[in-house]
A and B are shown apart, each in its own frame.
Chain A
Amino acid sequence: MATVQTKLFQESTEELISGSEAVGIACALADVDVITAYPIRPYDTVMQYVARLKADGAFDCDFIVAESEHSQFEIVKHASAVGARTFSGSSGVGWFYAFEALTVTAGLRMPVVAMVGNRALDDPGAFGVEHNDALAVRDLGWMLYWVATAQEALDTALLAWRVAEDPRILLPFALSCDGSFLTHSQAIVQVPSQDQVKRFLPDYHRGTLQLHPDNPITIAPQVNEDWLMEIRRQTDDAMRRTSDVIIEAYEEFKEEFGRGDPSPFIEEYMCEDAEIILVGMGTLAMPTRVAVRRMREAGKKVGFLRVKFFRPFATEELQKALGGAKAVAVIDRDYSYGSPSYGGVLFHELRSTLYPLDERPLMLNFIAGLGGREVMVRDVNEIVETTQKAIDTGKIDQVTSWVAVRE
């Protein structure tokens, strides 16, 4: 590694790294001040890599291995209050053990950036990816993003600090990376130089909200019933402001680093003129894009839309992208027991998004890849077949279907 290390961060390089390592490198590039860690697979690959970068002298930070996930997130929350750039992360039930700390982080408007290595919730103990862990913070004021490649993990981490720490926002940002497929697979990643990153990512200044002896303030008070609505409305307004700030930052990102999609919120793949649009998050994109490409070659009008930002949810953009389709098939790598139509979380959000349209596409939900089961091209073909049947008959026999589950 010695030959590589000397160049790393001085100039832009090409590295063979996993999604977790990409996030670790982003921490170094962003010169994060305080990083807290507590091991749980698959997130732990990040803490191992950060620890190694620090040990190698590649960058300096306060690296604190806490005694639990709860403390892990409490520490970065407090560090963020005094003006430190922070990073933390977890997976599955570890993320849940931190839950109280997660909600107060958003409540106090601390721009903590966290990586969630998506993992199925216990029990049974399982390492494979499921999105229910990260999704649990969807109502708390966290920005929530699903990554599909190691390159996107690095890029989006940089974007995350930029947006979260923007004085107009000050909200935490969770970067979701599918366990195994992202956290443990190595791919070629373009690593920018520190100078480039410095141009894109300004220092974090909390201004008058900074906890400091020269700025005597108290934070986190107890309030009575006549205070909370206004405080909630403030956080709501901050979240409403994120869209514009994200667009602004993303445009600058593309200019500085020379890569990126048309939209920061969604990725459309062969969606133009598509009669059936499949929707999913994270690494589901890989088999789905392959299947779509093949079906297009066979003349079938199918497209795939990847939801990148789950919070903020790009309502208008999604209405525009999906409104013209005959049918929308949502693939959920998560599930909500007892929910409307016994469906997945993403499905409910999208059905709600498309409800105001005058002409609504047929909407079907497919539960696939839970606990890290591979979603295969043949599964996607089956999903499209079922959806086509609904279009042909004009009715939906079954709203939610489980894909590739053993009877």
Chain B
Amino acid sequence: MATLAVEVVYRGIFQRTLARNIVRNIVFAARKDGKIGTAFGRYGDSPERNGIPAKQFAIVADTPSELEESLAVYEATNVDVTINVDDTMCKGIESWAWYGLQPINELTKSGGTLIVTSRQDADALLEDIHQKDSPYDLAIIPSTVSFSGLWVYKDDHTDMRALGALCKVCPEMVSLGAMLESIKEQTGSDTKVASVQRAHDRTTGRPVEPGEGNTETPFSFDLPGWKTMEEGLVIRGVAAGTGFRGGEEGYTPGRNEVFKKWSTRSMRPVINFDTCIKCTLCWLQCPDTCFDVTPDGLYDANMEACCGCGVCEAVCPVPDCVTMVGEGEFNGNDSQWDAWTADKDGYNKWMTVLVEKQKDETRTHGFHHIGQYSEEITAAEEV
């Protein structure tokens, strides 16, 4: 064995402690197996921003000189295991440290494993996960997403379950025995040890063949060179907006063509166009100018520009006009206004189902009020 690597793909703020717990415990446990390791976050990421996709790594080797090659880098070139702790990132991630959309399995090496925490099944996830030229396994930890806030950590054992699953799919990186011993030593908790063991026993991988998955080409762009870049650190402004989609009426704002940031989103607004009173508040308050003004004066959230912050839902004065719905329900970024215009009844039925379903959804953006933590823990225990 030479060197084995794990990446944890997580969402900024909400899951930072979760990711850190996972990678640190891998290094601690590998130490019990007589190996040496390092843990680090991708430096170019900015995990102090709500929901932004980011990465942490754990790299384990038999000897310090083997480990050396993996030091002084930001990102491993390939990993044995990718752990994705929010299934909505299966659509790909655009983080601060990466230009364009990076498929979730970009670094997962041939024969490696992608572990995802999700309530969806493999087929549903593979509609989002980009295809690869090489085979790998997909393992699912059945789980609702574990989101915390900046100063609190929801200790719902998601970290322990990820570690148990890892020991199952990649025992050569860290053995279950070492992990159990290390977790006991680090946390002193028998229930955490039990969570690791249970996740280990329950985890199975499903083979993913080359070419299986989302066939879309993720957006990307080339960085300029020193001879082609404008001098003086000048950034030209984005061109002003136009009429709706270039037409005479309505308005489509100018947007950055290469920085889309929609992968920051774990929820998206679903609009009830029939109840909209055209008050303009969502359009005014959206920090990403994601709303296009349609020729009929409605507001269509452009899903390539929306980062899912939920401000539109918060400022909308009409009950049930804007509803934030978990991103896992969607497989594309198509215009809702187009769908509504084409088939109003069909759209409204689709929307009603989603909005109803949302009422059972536990996905939130961190903690909004005192007591929410204990409410969610209680709810999670009941599941």
Q: Do A and B actually bind? A: yes
* B-binding residues in A (CB < 8 A): 3, 14, 16, 18, 123-124, 127-128, 178-181, 184-188, 283-287, 289-290, 293, 372, 374-375, 377, 405-407
Q: Is B233 an interface residue (CB 8 A)?
A: yes
Closest chain A residue, CB of each to CB of B28: A16
- Is the beta-carbon distance between B72 and A406 smaller than 8 angstroms? no
Closest chain A residue, CB of each to CB of B43: A180
A16–B41 Cα distance when bound, in Å, is 14
A188-B37, A287-B72, A407-B227 are contacts. A3–B24 as well, Cβ < 8 Å? no
Within 8 A of A (CB), among B312-360: none
Nearest Cβ on chain A to B167's Cβ, whole angstroms: 18
- Is the beta-carbon distance between B225 and A181 smaller than 8 angstroms? no
- Is the beta-carbon distance between A188 and B27 smaller than 8 angstroms? yes
Closest chain A residue, CB of each to CB of B39: A186
Cβ contacts under 8 Å, B73 to chain A: 181, 374
- Is the beta-carbon distance between A405 and B39 smaller than 8 angstroms? no
- Is the beta-carbon distance between A188 and B31 smaller than 8 angstroms? yes
Main secondary structure of the interface of A (DSSP, over half): mixed
- Is the beta-carbon distance between A181 and B27 smaller than 8 angstroms? no
- Is the beta-carbon distance between A290 and B39 smaller than 8 angstroms? no
What are 24 A-to-B residue pairs whose CB atoms are below 8 Å?
A16-B27, A16-B28, A127-B43, A127-B44, A178-B72, A179-B43, A181-B71, A184-B41, A185-B39, A186-B27, A186-B38, A186-B39, A188-B27, A188-B37, A283-B71, A286-B69, A286-B72, A287-B72, A372-B43, A374-B74, A405-B225, A406-B224, A406-B225, A407-B228
Cβ contacts under 8 Å, A374 to chain B: 72-74
- Is the beta-carbon distance between A186 and B24 smaller than 8 angstroms? yes
- Is the beta-carbon distance between A3 and B185 smaller than 8 angstroms? yes
In the complex, which of the residues B36, B72, B186 contacts A181, with contact meaning CB atoms closer than 8 Å? B72
Nearest Cβ on chain A to B199's Cβ, whole angstroms: 22
Nearest Cβ on chain A to B212's Cβ, whole angstroms: 32
- Is the beta-carbon distance between B233 and A123 smaller than 8 angstroms? yes
Q: Is B153 an interface residue (CB 8 A)?
A: no
Closest chain B residue, CB of each to CB of A375: B72
In the complex, which of the residues A127, A179, A184, A188 contacts B36, with contact meaning CB atoms closer than 8 Å? A188
Closest chain A residue, CB of each to CB of B56: A186
- Is the beta-carbon distance between A187 and B226 smaller than 8 angstroms? no
Most chain-A CB neighbours within 10 Å: which of B69, B71, B185?
Answer: B71
A123–B233 Cα distance when bound, in Å, is 8
A180–B41 Cα distance when bound, in Å, is 9
Closest chain A residue, CB of each to CB of B66: A290
Not counting A124-B233, A286-B69, a sample of 8 additional A-B residue pairs whose C-beta atoms are within 8 angstroms of each other reads: A180-B74, A181-B73, A184-B40, A185-B39, A185-B40, A186-B40, A187-B38, A188-B27
In the complex, which of the residues A128, A289, A407 contacts B225, with contact meaning CB atoms closer than 8 Å? A407
Contact with A along B64-91 (1 / 0, CB 8 A): 0100110111100000000000000000
Which 5 A-B residue pairs are closest in the complex by CB-CB distance? A406-B225, A180-B43, A185-B40, A286-B72, A283-B72
Contact with A along B224-240 (1 / 0, CB 8 A): 11111000010000000
A186-B24, A188-B27, A290-B69 are contacts. A16–B233 as well, Cβ < 8 Å? no
Q: Is B379 an interface residue (CB 8 A)?
A: no
Contact with A along B165-192 (1 / 0, CB 8 A): 0000000000000000000011010000
Nearest Cβ on chain A to B115's Cβ, whole angstroms: 22
Q: Is B383 an interface residue (CB 8 A)?
A: no
